[in-house]
A = this chain, B = another copy of it.
Amino acid sequence: MRPISIASAALFASCAVAQTYQRLGGCPTLGCVFPPDQADFLPGQYFDIRLEVHSPINGSEARQGQPDPDFKFTIAKKGEKAVAAAEYFEIDEPKLERWNFTWYEDLFAKDAHKPSLVNVTAKAYRRVALHEPGEYEATLTYYGKEKTVANWLVRDLPEKRRAKNVILFIGDGMTTNMITAARLIAHRSINGKYLTKLQLDKFPVLGHQMTHSMDSFITDSANSATALYAGHKTTVNALNVYVDSSKDPFDDPKFETISEIFRRRYPDGGVGIVSTAFLADATPAGLAAHTRDRGEYDHVISAYFEGLTKYKWTDLEGPDVLLGAGAENFIPSKGAPRDYFKLFADKDYSISWNKTALQAAPNDTKALGVFSSANLPTWLDRNVYQDNLRNKSNYPDGSGRDAEDLPGLKEMTLKAIDVLNARHADDGWFLMSEAASIDKQMHSLDYDRSLGELLELDDTVRATIEKLKALGQLEDTLIIVTADHGHGFDVTGSVDTKYLDAQEDDRDKRKAIGTYQNSGLSQYTVRGPNALRYSEGVHFPARWDPRYTLHAGVVAFPDHQENYAVHSEGPRKPAVKGNGADGYYSNYKDAVTGFLINGTLPVSADQGVHSLTDVPVFAQGPCQELFGGVYNSVDIFFNMAECLGLADHGKN
């Protein structure tokens, strides 16, 4: 047990290369294979293969000569003979490509403006598949006898379908810590026993999934959506591709997503996408797009509309339901290259720009609903501080009016189920519903708004279960609620805001914070003459600005002020640009009575960042037992695919 004793100074070993920056993620050697070593596949899932050979010209890896143009690539099922890939997949040998790129070896190199240059030879094998479960060895041989071996696993999943419908709820950025805080502010307890609970608390099966990227231990929402939808971890900002080193954001090696496979296997099955974000954002985009750059918004909208046009690929044929925000990506006057509202309407979609229209839209018709520009205003602004909806010029027709007749996640999700159920009662459907602003408001340290979104998600899940029960679909529907990554949020006590406001000095203000026994009980649930009230069974705080608020925070943040009071005037903006190039400073106006906290992130950050933590998974319905315990994010894809009977062993 006791490790071999060594001088601690000797612990500094030569493991320093390629951390802040990497030559190419997933490729520590000079020969690169994508999908990389340790990739898993659903039997029959389509994917591209990208090979690269690197020849660094300068820097610590510099070598003589050009990159190998004659590299070889073979595939072998375990125990069988290696076969050249083109022969194995019965396709033409792809043509050789060449390019170069630069990168920085570390922050010192960046400060000194000393990039490293790499010349590249490459090939891509497009749209291949492995049907037979088992282990495979994909071997790239280059520079004579250098080898990069990728061990691939085609998972041995049964082909039998067990669920008719699957609903995947994603609380973007949602952690167990946030769920605990949301319960505290919305549900009454007496002497330590909650009288009511979250819907999430009632799920029969709980799991944890690991969210890390392929090549970094912190993920973004594109990369993690990819893992959840397609079973492959990739690089930050990438959607359903591995990232190669070429400049083109659309030539990276793709892999098929659950929505594509489901539509390919069950042409009469339905697909729905709901989000409170702009619809070109990563989490909804992950069900249609294939690009290494989540910022290619028009690629996303066009992929919803007509699938991929540059490459032969599985056609999603447009989701049945696409509800969310981000009208700017649909309207030529706001910069969209095409008039997508017209195009979708021409393709027989109903188009809704407000809640009234959405609710009146026919259930037997495909539905596009875009309810505002940018992201949908938050639950807190839509329901409590409604003055904040004014003067936003965010009506989705681009007219400059305000969007005020807004659906929330619940209204959108229930409508999506109505449409999917009306159109695909026989063959079933897949629906993704995202509470996007849990993440977005957590980024700006607006914990009240973030928890409001989480409670809206919980209310949506509750209403969804009731709706499925009413439709007779509950027993046939696998419901999963999970997140794509975390934020380092927690609550550590309460704050007497009246006392804090009354103190002059920053250090005195901190006396207002009560920890342990002085945290007391939640004041957000205290009912009284002025308390907010909701429908039976619906739980949100009775008040958002009690005298004693939550002492909440995240573990990494920009410079900011804290007074721990709800931002009733609108979403929070914790940091503002300083003079010159010196990054962001605390936004004094954000919390005038508060005290200053200097940041723990690079000064270029004006908001918080994602965190490492495993995130919870709640499951009920057919196959729920697959979702207990601790596993990788990609297992969510494999479990859903198994439950929908999407594994294709190629024997039929």
Assembled-state Cα–Cα distance A518/B609 (Å): 12
Assembled-state Cα–Cα distance A609/B382 (Å): 35
For A183, the chain B residues whose CB sits under 8 A away are 210
Q: How far is the CB of A252 from chain B (nearest CB, A)?
A: 15
Sorted from nearest, which 6 A-B pairs have the closest CB atoms?
A488-B490, A192-B233, A553-B555, A19-B520, A236-B517, A3-B532
Assembled-state Cα–Cα distance A616/B629 (Å): 11
For A498, the chain B residues whose CB sits under 8 A away are 16
Chain copies in the assembled complex: 2
Name A602's contact: one of B511, B520, B604 (CB within 8 Å). Answer: B511
Assembled-state Cα–Cα distance A425/B633 (Å): 42
The answer to whether B233 and A214 have CB atoms under 8 Å apart is no
Known interface pairs A551-B556, A597-B598, A613-B177. Does A216 touch B1 (Cβ–Cβ under 8 Å)? Answer: no
Residue of B nearest to A386 (CB): B5
Name A216's contact: one of B410, B520, B531, B610 (CB within 8 Å). Answer: B520
Produce 1/0 per residue, A163-187, CB < 8 A to B. 0000000000001110111011000
Residue of B nearest to A203 (CB): B629
Query: Which residues in window 598-636 of A have CB below 8 A to B?
Result: 598-605, 609-614, 616, 628-630, 632, 634
Known interface pairs A15-B523, A192-B213. Does A218 touch B493 (Cβ–Cβ under 8 Å)? Answer: yes
A212 interface hit (Cβ, 8 Å):
yes
Assembled-state Cα–Cα distance A37/B193 (Å): 9
The answer to whether B568 and A8 have CB atoms under 8 Å apart is yes
Assembled-state Cα–Cα distance A387/B556 (Å): 33
The answer to whether B181 and A612 have CB atoms under 8 Å apart is yes
Query: Which residues in window 1-57 of A have CB below 8 A to B?
Result: 1-6, 8, 10-16, 18-22, 25-26, 36-40
Name A612's contact: one of B184, B206, B235 (CB within 8 Å). Answer: B184
Query: Which residues in window 178-233 of A have CB below 8 A to B?
Result: 179-181, 183-184, 189-194, 197-198, 200-208, 210, 212-220, 227, 233
26 contacts between A and B (CB under 8 A): A6-B532, A8-B545, A11-B546, A13-B531, A15-B526, A15-B543, A15-B547, A18-B520, A19-B496, A37-B191, A107-B496, A176-B614, A177-B486, A177-B612, A192-B213, A200-B630, A203-B630, A206-B630, A216-B516, A488-B553, A489-B490, A492-B555, A493-B556, A551-B600, A553-B600, A597-B597
A344 interface hit (Cβ, 8 Å):
no
Complex interface: stretch among A124-132, A265-273, A533-541: A533-541
Assembled-state Cα–Cα distance A22/B514 (Å): 12
* Residue of A13, A16, A598 with highest tally of chain B CB at under 10 A: A13
A472 interface hit (Cβ, 8 Å):
no
Assembled-state Cα–Cα distance A408/B3 (Å): 13
Name A176's contact: one of B382, B562, B613 (CB within 8 Å). Answer: B613
For A235, the chain B residues whose CB sits under 8 A away are 517
* Residue of A37, A200, A491, A616 with highest tally of chain B CB at under 10 A: A491
Assembled-state Cα–Cα distance A231/B642 (Å): 40
The answer to whether A20 and B193 have CB atoms under 8 Å apart is no
* Residue of A39, A206, A535 with highest tally of chain B CB at under 10 A: A206
Known interface pairs A492-B556, A510-B599. Does A218 touch B516 (Cβ–Cβ under 8 Å)? Answer: yes
Known interface pairs A3-B532, A191-B233, A532-B4. Does A19 touch B493 (Cβ–Cβ under 8 Å)? Answer: no
For A510, the chain B residues whose CB sits under 8 A away are 599-603
Residue of B nearest to A153 (CB): B193
Residue of B nearest to A489 (CB): B555
The answer to whether A534 and B3 have CB atoms under 8 Å apart is yes
Residue of B nearest to A569 (CB): B8
A431 interface hit (Cβ, 8 Å):
no
Assembled-state Cα–Cα distance A96/B235 (Å): 71
Assembled-state Cα–Cα distance A596/B559 (Å): 12
Q: How far is the CB of A135 from chain B (nearest CB, A)?
A: 13
Residue of B nearest to A630 (CB): B201
For A628, the chain B residues whose CB sits under 8 A away are 204-206, 628
Assembled-state Cα–Cα distance A571/B436 (Å): 41
Q: How far is the CB of A179 from chain B (nearest CB, A)?
A: 7
The answer to whether A616 and B459 have CB atoms under 8 Å apart is no
Assembled-state Cα–Cα distance A10/B512 (Å): 23
A402 interface hit (Cβ, 8 Å):
no
